[in-house]
Amino acid sequence: MSKIRYKKIKRILDIVVSLLLLTILSPVFLIVALCILLEDRKEIFVLEPKRLKGENLEEFRMYKFRTMIPNAHNEILNNPKYKKYKEKWLGNDGKLKINEDPRITNVGKFLRRTDLDELPQLINVLKGDMSIVGPRPMYIAEIEKLNEEERLKLKDVFTVKPGITSLWAVSGRNNIIFKDRIILESEYAKNVSFFLDLKILLKTPYIVITRKGAYE
């Protein structure tokens, strides 16, 4: 099957699956939204930072339920209150464990440990920003620190839509450093097929349930 035909069929499947799941999971969306609002009466979805897609590295807003204080990304970079956490955060691909990150809310801890914060990405799939399966979306800050050789691999990654689940997610997730993640995502992009997508989808529930590779 040609890549053009693959992308067309995959887009149709993405629309059908995302619409179906959004309908079925709408009560869950409502409950989670209410819990977030009741905790601090702030925005329901994460606003920043934006992610990248496409060969032109177009920025888009990836929907996730907010698990941290508002503007958490800028807070850890610029607020002296989080100075002692900043160095470890920067040195660890922008990650801190749930119990060591004071920016994470009480509701957010539960959402992260269940991956429920990821559900709103179905909206991105319906809009066409993302697919159910594809390379995980990246930040500008993540690719700015790559060398020229590593950036060349990204050219393949950005030829396909980013996904909710990915080869990286089912191969070790946060146990894989960012540079190795690019290699994995590049291999996926160069070898896209419905068989590979199905293989990733079948592995995803096990990864979610067992929390394998989750940075907790």
Token digits of residue 64: 């996730």
**Residues belonging to the chain:** 216
What is the residue type of 143?
A: I
Burial per residue of 5-19, b for 16 or more beta-carbon CB atoms within 10 angstroms, e otherwise: eeeeebeeebeebbe
**CA–CA gap between residue 39 and residue 106 (Å, rounded):** 8
- Mean pLDDT in runs of 10 for the chain (216 residues)? 88 97 97 95 86 89 94 88 86 81 93 94 96 93 81 88 94 85 92 95 91 71
Residue 28: what are its φ and ψ, rounded to 5°?
Answer: -65, -45
Is 164 buried (19+), middle (13-18) or exposed (0-12) by CB count in 10 A? buried
**CA–CA gap between residue 145 and residue 44 (Å, rounded):** 31
**CA–CA gap between residue 155 and residue 158 (Å, rounded):** 6
The reported pLDDT for the residue numbered 169 is 92
- Beta carbons of 148 and 182 less than 8 angstroms apart: no
The reported pLDDT for the residue numbered 216 is 62
The reported pLDDT for the residue numbered 19 is 97
- Beta carbons of 86 and 138 less than 8 angstroms apart: no
The reported pLDDT for the residue numbered 146 is 82
Please report the sign of the dihedral spanned by the C-alpha atoms of residue 31, residue 35, residue 41, residue 45: negative
The reported pLDDT for the residue numbered 215 is 66
The reported pLDDT for the residue numbered 24 is 97
**pTM score:** 0.89
